[in-house]
A and B are shown apart, each in its own frame.
Chain A
Amino acid sequence: GQNIDQPTEMTATEGAIVQINCTYQTSGFNGLFWYQQHAGEAPTFLSYNVLDGLEEKGRFSSFLSRSKGYSYLLLKELQMKDSASYLCASMDSNYQLIWGAGTKLIIKP
């Protein structure tokens, strides 16, 4: 079956670093996506990895290991506005996104 696992909730301190992990099992693989979703809003695209390795984009970086079915999203220099849910999604062989349940990130001052 298809499955995406990520922690339900994480807490971090403003200015710190946090890593949100995601493991996936899908029928075929066409990439791993991370989205940010603030309460009451639609998801916004953060990153896309299809090859192994680390992709850095400002304060946010995303890592992928296809052999391990594993990805993480790394957020540096945390700001209060980073409080949101972070959704991991794997694209299967039909180019359909399989979504994780999301990780609620709480940033404390």
Chain B
Amino acid sequence: GAVVSQHPSRVICKSGTSVKIECRSLDFQATTMFWYRQFPKQSLMLMATSNEGSKATYEQGVEKDKFLINHASLTLSTLTVTSAHPEDSSFYICSARDGASRETQYFGPGTRLLVL
């Protein structure tokens, strides 16, 4: 089946630093990628939807200047958490939609971010 990778899988950083998370579709072209955040014992929360070559669409309450999303190619999207703070510590998961099938989303393995 289709594979989506995320890097890094785990990151610990100091408060105030920026962290970049990469999401790659390995064997298909992802016209749309989604970024989710999940706090412990809570469900997935969609942060933003990014389409290749255009600006991301952010969900209400998500600061676009803090969570920078770039979807420069059909196989790569990046999420940069700028000036991270401890409350940004969470599990960040990307998913990618195969351009050939709008119903199908493939999830990456997730990135666990801990901000000290």
The interface of chain A, by Cβ under 8 A from chain B, is: 30-31, 40-45, 48, 50, 87, 91, 95-97, 99-102
Residues of chain B lying within 8 A (CB to CB) of residue A91: 103
Q: Enumerate B74-116 residues with CB–CB distance to A below 8 Å.
A: 91, 93, 97, 102-103, 105-110, 112
Could you tell me if B43 and A97 are in contact, using CB atoms closer than 8 angstroms?
A: no
In the assembled complex, the CB of A90 is this many whole angstroms from the nearest CB of chain B, namely: 12
In the assembled complex, the CB of A88 is this many whole angstroms from the nearest CB of chain B, namely: 10
User: CB-nearest residue of chain A relative to B1?
Assistant: A45
Closest 8 CB pairs of A and B: A101-B43, A42-B110, A95-B102, A42-B107, A102-B43, A42-B93, A99-B44, A42-B109
In the assembled complex, the CB of A104 is this many whole angstroms from the nearest CB of chain B, namely: 8
Could you tell me if A43 and B49 are in contact, using CB atoms closer than 8 angstroms?
A: no
Bound: A33/B93 CA distance, A:
17
User: CB-nearest residue of chain B relative to A102?
Assistant: B43
Residues of chain B lying within 8 A (CB to CB) of residue A42: 93, 107-110
At the interface, yes or no: B42 with Cβ under 8 Å from chain A? Answer: yes
Residues of chain A lying within 8 A (CB to CB) of residue B103: 30-31, 48, 50, 91, 95
Question: A95-B103, A96-B49 in contact; A41/B109 too (CB < 8 A)?
Answer: yes
